[in-house]
Structure 1
Amino acid sequence: MLIHKDMPMNHKGQDFFVGDIHGEYDLLLTTLTQCQFNFECDRLFSVGDLVDRGSNSIACLALLHEPWFFAVRGNHEEMLLADEDSELARIHRSAGGEWFFQCSLLEQHRLRMLVEEYCPFAFTIESKFGSIGVCHANAPHHWSALQNATVDDIALLQDCAWSTKQYQQVKQGKLFNISGVKFVVHGHVNCARVTTNLNQLWIDTLMRTRRLTVLSAQQAYMVTA
């Protein structure tokens, strides 16, 4: 199980962040074109939930093979990895995951291995703005807890993939800082617009607006500066 991965600074191009894609492969490519994304030198970091609901989850997972694309594990990837007879698999079927169970067992295994190999729970990305964290849902108040996490830190990893607590606190007006990083980018919460804490951003706008939010590192920095 991949938990955390350090990413070196991109000296050749820009880094971008995209909200939950949910199988909307064509919309992603259209949005990247609009953002003038350079596939030769830029990098795109997904906040997770590549799959389900949209029409082409398999193509979205295939992006993990691309040298410019990186994704953390979201709760929909967690559901994809669940045992077929588990309660989580049952929830997956009703949450847009029926496509997965229509795949052959061999294909299901291949897709699970793809997620296991390429999708950590979190990235720490070096940039000219400072270290940038990426995880799907909640971040620990001290980012180093996630950088140093092990498979035994079950509650921390579940919060990282599933919890909406921090987002709800921010919506209630409670602001706090995540120490150890310049800022952290999240998805997961179906927001109508980019929502910020002191140094957190939630960018999962697809389900509310039918638009994918893509922000450059500079744009994200300016929002939280």
Structure 2
Amino acid sequence: MHLRLPPNELGRDFLLGDLHGQTELLQASLTARGFDPSRDRVISVGDLVDRGPDSIGALRLIEEPWFFAVRGNHEVMMLDALATPENETNQTFWKMNGGGWTDSLDANTMAVAIKLATDLPLAITLDLPGGGVIGICHGEWPGQDWRMVDTAITDTAIRQTMVWGRQQIKERRVRSDHTAKLTVHGHTPIDAPTRLGSAFFIDTGAVYGGALTLLTAREALSWPQALVS
């Protein structure tokens, strides 16, 4: 449930906001940034699937050696719905939120989609060149010590918050993690990337016509703090 990535000493690490099947938009963004798959990496905050045109293509990015992602709430909804086809509540909830695209998949592709989504970790720790870490989970990080993430994700309530939580960004709470230079999250669409202390939120609503956030780790670390009242 927790993946640790070693420092990228050769290229850049990009942090990617909620994708929702928009693979063409991602490719255009990568091209604009001069992305080099032999040196650079992309780390996604999750929600690869649903709402957009190419959910299976977005999931299959995980097969690329340069692409990594945490599990978002849309991957959770997808897995819950597919695991319990007899549960009408799960089916309806997922389809109301842009799901159901697997209906058009053949059996082999469906199996691939399920495996890829199941294998997604809940948290990624990105080790930085020169020391320090960035922590990534989809919703929000409720702790104050990212070193404890392995223990934290065994707790059902904390795990739920890491995938579904949005109170920090909605209430604009400033966070201060003791060990991570930054924790990075998506899930809640906002107008622009927003940093609240050590917490950085980067879902800028690309699937609703907003920008697709694609920032280097260096850019994220130097992002200005948001004004809070």
Compute the TM-score of the two structures, normalised by the length of structure 1: 0.90
> What letter is aligned with 2:203?
D
The answer to whether the 8 A contact 2:191-2:210 is kept is no
Partner of 2:121 in structure 1?
A: 120
CA distance in 1, matches of 2:92, 2:177: 34
Distance between the aligned counterparts of 2:164 and 2:91, measured in 1? Answer: 15
Deviation at 1:106, TM superposition (A): 4.6
Q: Structure 2 matches for 1:189-208, cutoff 5 A?
A: 189-205=188-204, 206-208=206-208
Give the conservation status (yes or no) of the 8 Å contact 2:51–2:98.
yes
Relative distance call for 1:162 and 1:219 in structure 2 (3 A) is same
| Corresponding residue for residue 101 of structure 1 | 103
Partner of 1:37: 35
RMSD (Å) for aligned C-alpha atoms:
1.7
8 Å contact 2:50–2:101 — kept in the other structure? Answer: yes
Task: Answer whether contact 1:52 1:96 (CA < 8 A) is retained.
Answer: yes
Q: What do residues 172-220 of structure 1 show as CA deviations (whole Å, max 9, x unaligned)?
A: xx32212220101111101110111101111111145432110001100
The whole-number CA distance in structure 2 between the counterparts of 1:75 and 1:88 is: 13
Alignment length (residue pairs): 218
Shift in alpha-carbon separation, 1:147–1:224, aligned structure 2, 3 A:
farther
1:29–1:107 CA distance, 2 compared to 1 (3 A): same
Q: Decide whether the 8 Å contact of 1:140 with 1:146 is kept in 2.
A: no
Partner of 2:180 in structure 1?
Answer: 181
1:80, distance to aligned residue in structure 2 (A): 1.1
Which SS does the other structure have where 1:188 is aligned? coil
Secondary structure of the 2:116 match is: helix
* C-alpha distance in 1 between matches for 2:12 and 2:37: 10
CA distance in 2, matches of 1:134, 1:89: 28
State the SS of the aligned residue for 2:212. Answer: coil
Aligned twin of 1:145: 148
Where in structure 2 are the equivalents of 1:14-163 lying within 5 Å? Answer: 14-82=12-80, 83-86=84-87, 87-117=89-119, 119-128=120-129, 130-142=132-144, 143-151=146-154, 153-163=155-165
**Is the 1:192–1:209 Cα contact (8 Å) retained in structure 2?**
no
Q: CA deviation at 1:146?
A: 2.1
Displacement after TM superposition at 1:163 (Å): 1.1
One-letter amino acid matched to 2:186? G
In 2, distance between residues paired with 1:85 and 1:93?
14
Contact 1:183 1:224 in 2 (8 A): no
Q: Is the 8 A contact 2:7 2:126 kept in 1?
A: yes
**Deviation digits for residues 14-72 of structure 1 (CA, Å, limit 9, x no counterpart):** 10101000000100000111111111110000000000111111111111000000000
**CA separation in 2, counterparts of 1:133 and 1:193?**
20
TM-score by length of 2: 0.89
**Identity score, percent:** 36
Unpaired runs of at least 5, structure 2: none
State how 1:157-172 maps to structure 2 within 5 Å.
157-170=159-172
